[in-house]
Amino acid sequence: MPVRQATEDDQTQMSKLAAEAFFDDELFGDVIHPHRKEYPEDTYLYWLARLRQGWSDPNNYFFVSTAQSANGEGEQIAAWAQFLRKSKSAKKETAPPDVSDLPPNRAASKEREDILERQYEYIAHEWSGSRAECWDIIWLATSPAHQGRGHGRALVEWVVEKATQEQVPSSVISAKGKDGFYNKMGYTIPTGKAWEPETNPLYGLVEGGQFWWRESHLKSAESASK
């Protein structure tokens, strides 16, 4: 499966792909974009703003998995992922990008568009102690037309290889219905839920959001199981 590093020119295609893949997701659909049926063309703006923000932090890595386009001429992005190398000694973030040129996202709920940014302080403790140094899967999306063909696996394999080389754990927060996929990829240690505790702004709004850790690639995990 051809996987390559994404470029800034890919951002619009990547955001449109994510908008399609997450259109009816409980969080990115119902909670964040309640007006998406009225303004279906707007939801990609959510992803484009976050992609630009992510690009401004050098600890983020963006990859795409590609397929031949339908007419056989050139490539098409079938899936993409954002991985974050979390570290106590992380390289300094650059200034946030200007997203003021983007039109307002009419599909989004004004109160909930930034719910993930507000929820972060309730889950930050997951990445501490022996898990402060790790690779986190921030986003992963395969376009509906290309699902079930190994693109998601190919992208996750990149981050697993990095985590193995560096001997650090890897984490993900699974969307509703996606636990089985991540379990297959070796993310089998469940810890918290992204909507806990009761004061978390996501509390009561979603059923998915399980934290999963992959540690079987760590030499210490291997020797512990012997």
Ligand X SMILES: CC(C)(COP(=O)(O)OP(=O)(O)OC[C@H]1O[C@@H](n2cnc3c(N)ncnc32)[C@H](O)[C@@H]1OP(=O)(O)O)[C@@H](O)C(=O)NCCC(=O)NCCS
Residue 158 contacts ligand X per CB under 6 A: no
Q: Is 150 in the site for ligand X (CB under 6 A)?
A: yes
Q: What minimum distance in Å lies between the beta carbon of 207 and ligand X? A: 13
The amino acid occupying position 49 is A
Which residue bears the tokens 């509906």? 144
Beta carbon nearer to ligand X, 97 or 162: 162
Q: CB 35 → ligand X: shortest distance, Å? A: 20
**φ, ψ of residue 60 in degrees (nearest 5):** -90, 145
For ligand X, the closer CB: 97 or 150: 150
Please report how many Cα atoms fall inside a 13 Å half-sphere around the Cα of residue 16, on the Cβ side: 8
What span, in angstroms and rounded, lies between the C-alpha atoms of 197 and 210? 13
140 binds ligand X (CB under 6 A): yes
211 binds ligand X (CB under 6 A): no
Q: Which residues, 6+ apart, have CB-to-CB distance to 204 below 8 Å?
A: 195
Q: Which residues pair with 136 in a beta bridge?
A: 84, 171
Give residue 209's region: left, alpha or beta (phi > 0; psi -120 to 50). left
Q: Which residues contact 180 (CB under 8 A, 6 or more apart)?
A: none
Residue 177 makes contact with ligand X by CB under 6 A = yes
Selected from 64, 134, 175, 194, the binder of ligand X by CB under 6 A is 175
Residue with Cβ nearer ligand X (76 or 147): 147
Choice from 153, 203, 216, 218 touching ligand X (CB under 6 A): 153
Query: Would you tell me which residues interact with ligand X (CB under 6 A)?
Result: 21-22, 25, 79, 140-142, 147-153, 174-175, 177-178, 180-181, 184
